[in-house]
Structure 1
């Protein structure tokens, strides 16, 4: 599809900026992101793929399926493995980010966490792309790197500006499974809290999946408070991930 034939629509431009900030998105979340039907979402992604701005791939995440073949994106001769994912071409991402993110493509090991973080962003912000309102992990890695190009300290899953108090910016952390190993969870939470303090953030919003993990995070928070000689950690909020998504009707 030539540039002359392709007339990009405003919702497509917004989606590409969102996609570039988040690195990739599961096709299942695209209808929510653009506020349109599944059919319209697939048609849009197909247009963007034909225009050379995005790639579409299947990622074998170990899920049971069955996966429905797509006439837009699947080779009929190949066995379907996993759900469809969309990610921007390097040149596309560079244009929307104003920096070169380098070569990148999604990996199955990242799929569940990326899906959850993107779903939280859609629940809290919709497809808002102002980087001062929601600063994605990809953008934080760029912003917080040291002279050697590596990030300094812990990098949160995102930063989120408080709607009720614009002077406050919160770090966002999404936890889906318990970190195994003695002391790993408290250590990870301490690093997230210390990074929030270092960057003068309001605190850390933890979105956790499941009652068991919630109890583990609460226990880790109590341990951190005890070690710091305080009754409770004042700059930590723990939220149920699935309840948050259900309230905002994000799948």
Structure 2
């Protein structure tokens, strides 16, 4: 791995990438915009990091040519792209930022949309702040569970977020993009998320949901939970429209 001199905004981008597992190129460009940089600067940064052996760039194959544009820097000349480009750090570089060995990681089509939504929500709420006490990513939460030396029995939230209006409060973050059908799955998932937040002394759970039908399903489930607990509404649960939140914060 060769040495390169990173600018402060590039170091912040690498640290964000380490905490979030990896970033799609679209998310990478949005993250760079919080440092006043354009998409071209973000892509040059990814190219430099890759050539220095600090990071990888790969396609996440969605099985469809879709709208994906061929990249002269990152694709083979005759390649037809079937998914977006993703940027992620190698094991050694991740280790330096995270201060623990995260092992090997590769982006997968099955989780790419969810990881992207979480990253974009993080940018909307905290920008390029990489303080783990402000936003504790799922990767860092998973490490905390492992460090206890016990099998994880709690739900690992998508993130923990310190309330900037009341720094004494930390909220669990849950992002829902698709309906959990069958056998009370959504009810169980929401119950576990709330119970885990309570056990860790958190203020509650902030649910960010994509799509009107899913939003109604989550709201209906929250009403059922409140009824089971003998209250009119749950004081430790807030439900928000994900895309409205992203649009309001300019992350679209």
Equivalent-residue separation in structure 2 for 1:124 and 1:146 (angstroms): 28
1:191-210 to 2 correspondences below 5 Å = 191-210=192-211
Normalised by the size of structure 1, how large is the TM-score?
0.95
Residue 78 (structure 1) shift? 2.5
1:69-218 to 2 correspondences below 5 Å = 69-145=70-146, 148=149, 150-218=151-219
Residue 217 (structure 1) shift? 0.3
Give 1:29's aligned residue.
Answer: 27
Moved over 4 A (4+): 146-149
Equivalent-residue separation in structure 2 for 1:215 and 1:62 (angstroms): 31
SS of alignment partner, residue 146 of structure 2: coil
Residue 145 (structure 1) shift? 2.9
Give the gaps of 5 or more residues in structure 1: none
Equivalent-residue separation in structure 1 for 2:153 and 2:146 (angstroms): 6
Residue 30 (structure 1) shift? 1.1
Count of aligned residue pairs for this structure pair: 249
Q: Is the 8 A contact 1:145 1:152 kept in 2?
A: no
Equivalent-residue separation in structure 2 for 1:121 and 1:33 (angstroms): 10
Give the gaps of 5 or more residues in structure 2: none
Residue 149 (structure 1) shift? 5.5
Q: How has the CA–CA distance of structure 1 residues 163 and 63 changed in structure 2, closer, same or farther, with 3 Å as cutoff?
A: farther
Q: Is the 8 A contact 2:157 2:173 kept in 1?
A: yes
Q: Is the 8 A contact 1:146 1:152 kept in 2?
A: no
Answering whether residue 40 of structure 2 is matched by residue 46 of structure 1, we say no
Equivalent-residue separation in structure 2 for 1:146 and 1:220 (angstroms): 33
Residue 231 (structure 1) shift? 1.5
Could you say what the CA RMSD is over the residues aligned between the two structures, in angstroms?
1.4
Residue 64 (structure 1) shift? 5.2
SS of alignment partner, residue 94 of structure 1: helix
Residue 63 (structure 1) shift? 5.4
Give 2:244's aligned residue.
Answer: 243
Normalised by the size of structure 2, how large is the TM-score?
0.95
